[in-house]
Every structure is written in structure tokens, then in C-alpha cells.
Structure 1
């Protein structure tokens, strides 16, 4: 199981005249945001080497990079703007930039300014803005890595994240993002057991209501927004389990393995699935410590898992049933046979195998926060490459990159051939004259 940690700590967005003015102002704000995002999007498509264009000119990557950095500096300044809309546009631009590119050098000298700005936004912002700030904070921590810089970012905003997360009067959306941010930032940058234990306890306090034996606190009594919060808290908690020392895992097994199956009866499909995956993760961690680990209620647990793996209740959405059955078949198979479904993740010229529940939880956590940028970070972000044992980033020359790509024309020919073959196959099946076996 990979660990990305250092020292002795844990492993690891007139009346008519006024109305027109407002509309024009809103339009100009949207145009500004569109311009920032389009500039960054076009820049992020560039490769790590200069490429020749049809006219024979060479793309000036340095000038392009400077233009991108100027836009990012403007976004960082706008995070402190008086207008809530301008702040959200700036935060959304930063979110896209941080998830699409590795920017350690650029952010290194600006992290204190940006951290201070994010802290002020968390304090005075509301709902959606707070949620966006928490996401940007997570990405900033991911960019800084597990060294002193990342630890500094985490330590400065950890108390505020916990305050919002545990405030029942705060926006559920903001609390949900803070739950994700607390777990991810602790996983990346926590330097000692005290940070890890306090974050685990905080997250337990949130999702614990969904696995309470008190009838008034059963999952069916919770609103969808509260269930989503519990789901995020449980995901963050299970992520932190992957860096817990064995002594801590033993306590968690005793306290939570009997309780977590209660969440399998939730009417929220995502909460059921996360609970099932967490149970599988606990079994995996327990078997890592004791090969002959035995849980006395395994038969009862397997009965519940089998029911979810074969659930055909019509009141559930078809996509929910399909997703649930697939996950719980994997969970049941692992608990009964100890075999984990293997997934292959391809990025650039490399591939990575997700062959354990711990790696699955880690990869899904990064994929959720990075979105489509996860492959870029797997290729270039030293933190992720250390966590997943990928070694230093590959240094490729122009010839290697060009050889790994197929041209647009070749892709078009392939798609055309595949379309024709598919059409012929379907026509034969649909033809009433076809033989019926």
C-alpha cells in the first residue's frame, strides 16, 4: 500500500437605466470569466515541448505561459474583490487552472497571499462561494504537496474548515465541500498524529448520525442534503484510514465495523455505496494486519450485501440499481474470497493498476477533486506520482510525444470504419428477413 508522508507523522467559485446598467455589468463579468477560462484552456492544451505549426512557425510557449500567469495573477487579486460575483468568477477560474496544470513554481511565492484571501472568503462568503473556496483550497494544498508549504496551507485553514463543517446552521453545500477539503488536505499535508486523529474525530461526528442505533437518527430521517454531507464526510474519513497506523486501525475496527452496516439501509444510493466500499476497505486493512482476521457477524453482513448486489426494486432508478449492483458484487466477492476487482488507468504513455480498496479510495478521491485533470497530474504532479508509486515524471522528447499520438485524420478514418461496421451489424439484426435462431 503506497504511502506519501515525511518525518514521523501520518503516512501518506430612472429604473430602466439602472436595469440596463446591471445587465451590461453582468454581461461584461461573464465575458471576462469566459476570456480567462478560454485563455487558460488553450494554454493547457500545449505539450511540454515546442511544436511546429503548418506555417513553419514555432509556438512561443514561454510567451503563452506568461500570458496565462498574468491571467492567474488577476484572478488571485479578484478573490478579494468587493463583488461576490467577481470573487466567484475568480475562484472558478482558479479551480479550473489548478486542476488542469501543475503550478508549484508559480504558486510558491503567492501561497501566503492566496491562503489569506481564501480564509477571508471562507469567513465572509456564503453557501456556494464557501464551497468553491474549500475546493480551491484543496487544490492549492495538492499543488504545494506534502512538504512544509502544503503543511503551512493546511495548518492555517484547518480550524476554519472544522468550524464550518461542524456548524449545523451553515450551508449544507459549504459543509460538504469543507468535509472533502478537510480529509484531502489532512491526507496530503498532515505532519503528525494529532492532526490525523482530530480530523478523523471531526468527520466521525458528522457521518456518525447515519449509523446510530437510535431510531430517531436512522438514515431515513435525514434530508437529501444532509445525507450528501454524511457521504462526503465518510469518504474523507475512509481516505484517512489508508494512512492510519495499525494501532489506530484496531480501535476503528472495534468501534465502527459493527456500526457501518447500519448505513446500508439508507435510502440514498451514494451513501449505501460509500458505506459498502468503506466496509470492504476496513476488511482489507484488517487482513493486512492479521491474515486470518475473523469478524463474527460476517454471515449477516454478507446477507445484506447479497441483497444489495441483486436488488431489483422498481422504486429505485434503473441507473442507481445498476451502479449499486456492480459495486456490491465487488464488495461481496472481496469479503467472501479476498479478491479485489482490478482497474487499469491509462495516462500518456503510462498506466497504473488500481488493485486494492485502499488504492481505489485514493484514486477516486483525487479524480473527484481534479476531474478530467487527474491524468495530467498523474503524469506531472510529484505528489501523486509518489503516492501511487509511479516514480519521477517521465521526460519525453518531441519524437516520443508525436509517436504516441495519432493524427486527427487517422482518428477520423478509424471512427468511420467503426461506424460502418456497427451499422452493418445492426442492420442484419434489425432486418426482418434475418434468420431467427
Structure 2
């Protein structure tokens, strides 16, 4: 019995040793994971600090590389901690390089301003970013080359979308964009200065994106019918991308601006009843109906949009009863992002294009996109880096304690524990 007792104690000692080693290994792996994550975060922040310092260098190529590094980092990460005490410094440097830098620096700087605004998200800094950024962006839009103007239009749209406090502020930016879309001023030669197709597409896209934020019905229908008339002229001929952007703008106008007014006059523009008593704007839109139907249908077939048949394309513009639907898997936890209106689709497509490969990361972790698309945030997404470490460290300790408890219960069930003094 003595030998058996000694043997059982030995086994128990081995098992205790295994428990300790497993616990130690689990803790070590946990610590290693946290250390590795900390190293990655510290390494990224170190690189960002280097890029920020390099923005002050005299050599243009050095500043360009620094801007490119910052743009890449802000695309792929939601760097809320980094900008917390640096957003004014970053903004002022971006604006400075937008004004005095090369064309490439100006493009990168404009994009960096937009990314800074998106990263600030729902914070209190976004309105200040908008107020400081719009004047220099507007000047660059007037005098810059086409490449710069395209980046500036995107940035203007983003900083206004994120930072605007009311429709008047948004409308002011949209007016700047509309001057690009429909220029009325004459050049010194006495001819209208028309934008290139690429700039026109960017302006239409940015203008439509901001239009999606319109709420309420304080609208001048005569003004909107004039805009629709001009957009129809863009639908008639020319670059296909311009025509597509014009068609999308018309669809958003009908969905947001016209649909509410139609409900007070008629079910839709297909009604032919009592036309003389209708408002002037209704009669005018009715006169444009066949033209828009024909142009949108032709464009739909030409573009080969198999997801939208001819009839829905037509009905979208005039009734709002059929909507373009799309879906995008964000993550296992947050599920699928779906759209069912032109407003949602325009917002999704614009932000996907602007954020590029970083869209999914921002959709998962950026509070702004959670609010825009009604996404459910990850449980840790609103925590700072240090808070995430504490939560994960606490979770690791709880898992370790759970493993110890489970092994102890398993040993009790097996009757493997030996008490001192037992023969």
C-alpha cells in the first residue's frame, strides 16, 4: 500500500506539474500575443510619428513619401488614438502642403484631409476640420490641375458629409460643386469654361453624395426642376461615365426631393388626371418624363447592367417603388451590409471608392460608418488601445482560471487526488 501511495502521489505530482506547465504556457502565449500586439501598435505609431516629422522637410520627395505613408495608414486603420492630440497639427500640415506642394503632394494632402475627417468620425473635431479645410480646398478646386481637382472634390464631399451641422452648411459646399457641374462664368476669351469628363464625373458623384444628407422639405421645386433639366442634357450624349453619374443624381433627386412632393399632388408622374390644376413644377416634370425614360433606359442597356432591368430603371426615377438592392459582407459578427434605396447605394459606393481596400476595416471599427449604415459595432471597437489590452488580459486570466477549475474537477471525478495520511 505504501508503494501504491507513493506511486499515486507521484502521479498526482506529475499532474500538478502538468497543470502548472499548461497554465504557464497559456499565460506565456497570452503575454506573447499581447506583447506582439503592443509591438505592432508601437511600431505603427513610431512610423506615423516619422511621417509626421517628415512633412516639415524641404525636399518634396520626402514630403510626398510621408504623405503617402500617412494616407496608407489612415486607409487601413482607424487611428483614433493617434489623432487625439495631433489632429490640428496634421490638418495644418496637410493644408500647407495642399497650398504650396507639387501636384502629387496636393492630391495626397487633399485625400489625407478627407481621411482625417473620416477617422475623427462622430467626434467633436469634425466640424473644425470642415471649417478649416473648405476654404483652401475650394481655392485648389478653382485653380488646380484636373488630378488635384478630382481629389479635392472627394475631400470636400467627405469633410462636409462628416462635419456639417446643418443643411445650410452642406448646401454651401454643394453650390461650389454645382459651379463645376454647370459653369456659368465666362473666361477671358468669352467662352464657357467646361470641366473635363473626369472632373465632371467626380463633381456629380460628390454632389449626389452630399444630396443624400438632405432632410426636410424646405426646397424650391423650381430650382430642382432646373437642375433636373440640366442633368437631362448631360444624359443625352457624351462620356458614358458622365451619363451614369447624371442618371444617379436624377434618381437621388426624385427619391429625396420629388417623391415627398408628389404624394401631395398625385401618386406618381404617370397620372394624367386633372393636369391643368397641377403645380407648374409637376407639369414640367411630366413633360420631361418620356425623355428621361428613354435616356435612362438606353443608358441601362448600353451599360449592360444585368442587375437592373429596363422597367425598374425607369420606375426608380418616377415612383421610387423599385430600388437598387445590394449587399456586402462586413464581418461574421456584424453580418451583411444591405442597401435598398438610391440614397444608401450612393453613400456605400462613394465611401467604398474613397476608402478603397480599407473600407471593410472602417466598416468594422469606425463609429461613423456604424451610424451611416446601421452596423452593429464589435464589442471592443469603441475602446482605446490600452482599454482593449486590459479587457483581453482580463479575459486571458479568466480563461486560465477556468482551465484550472475544469482540470481540478476532472481529477476529482477520476479519483486521482490523494490525501495526506491515506493508506
Query: TM-score, normalised to structure 1's length?
Result: 0.69
Aligned to 2:375: 390
Q: 2:105 aligns with which of 129, 132, 139?
A: 129
Report if aligned partners of 1:305, 1:328 keep a CA contact under 8 Å in 2: no
CA-based RMSD: 3.0
The offset of 1:85, in angstroms, is: 1.0
Q: 1:207 aligns with which of 172, 181, 190?
A: 181
Aligned to 1:148: 124
- Partners of 2:166 and 2:57 lie apart in 1 by 36
- Partners of 1:217 and 1:326 lie apart in 2 by 41
Report if aligned partners of 1:126, 1:171 keep a CA contact under 8 Å in 2: no
Q: 2:172 aligns with which of 183, 193, 198?
A: 198
Structure 2 residue 61 is the aligned partner of structure 1 residue 85? yes
Per-residue CA distance 1:293-341 (angstroms, 9 max, x = gap) = 5331111210122222333xxxxxxxxx436x76784633423663012
Aligned to 1:174: 148
Report if aligned partners of 1:151, 1:190 keep a CA contact under 8 Å in 2: yes
> Aligned in 2, Cα 1:101/1:289: closer, same or farther, shift over 3 Å?
farther
Structure 2 segments unaligned to the other structure (5+ residues): 1-25, 185-189, 270-284, 382-390, 393-423
Report if aligned partners of 2:297, 2:313 keep a CA contact under 8 Å in 1: no
Aligned to 2:327: 344
Report if aligned partners of 1:147, 1:189 keep a CA contact under 8 Å in 2: no
Aligned to 2:227: 256
> Aligned in 2, Cα 1:125/1:335: closer, same or farther, shift over 3 Å?
same
> Aligned in 2, Cα 1:59/1:164: closer, same or farther, shift over 3 Å?
same
Aligned to 2:33: 58
- Partners of 1:341 and 1:197 lie apart in 2 by 26
Once the two structures are superposed, the pairs formed by residues 217-228 of structure 1 within 5 Å of their partners are 226-228=196-198
> Aligned in 2, Cα 1:217/1:322: closer, same or farther, shift over 3 Å?
farther
The offset of 1:57, in angstroms, is: 5.0
Aligned to 1:232: 202
The offset of 1:251, in angstroms, is: 5.6
The offset of 1:158, in angstroms, is: 0.8
Aligned to 2:242: 271
Per-residue CA distance 1:378-418 (angstroms, 9 max, x = gap) = 111001101112244344999xxxxxxxxxxxxxxxxxxxx
> Aligned in 2, Cα 1:55/1:76: closer, same or farther, shift over 3 Å?
closer
> Aligned in 2, Cα 1:193/1:356: closer, same or farther, shift over 3 Å?
closer
Aligned to 1:38: none
- Partners of 1:193 and 1:379 lie apart in 2 by 28
Larger radius of gyration: 2
Report if aligned partners of 1:78, 1:86 keep a CA contact under 8 Å in 2: yes
Report if aligned partners of 1:79, 1:87 keep a CA contact under 8 Å in 2: yes
Q: 2:297 aligns with which of 289, 299, 306?
A: 306
Report if aligned partners of 1:187, 1:240 keep a CA contact under 8 Å in 2: yes
- Partners of 1:347 and 1:89 lie apart in 2 by 31
The offset of 1:289, in angstroms, is: 4.8
Per-residue CA distance 1:343-376 (angstroms, 9 max, x = gap) = 1111111111111100011111111111111111
- 3-state DSSP class of the match of 1:310? helix
Query: TM-score, normalised to structure 2's length?
Result: 0.71
Report if aligned partners of 1:345, 1:351 keep a CA contact under 8 Å in 2: yes
Aligned to 1:287: 259
Structure 2 residue 321 is the aligned partner of structure 1 residue 364? no
> Aligned in 2, Cα 1:327/1:100: closer, same or farther, shift over 3 Å?
farther
The offset of 1:255, in angstroms, is: 2.6
Structure 1 segments unaligned to the other structure (5+ residues): 1-50, 211-215, 312-320, 399-437
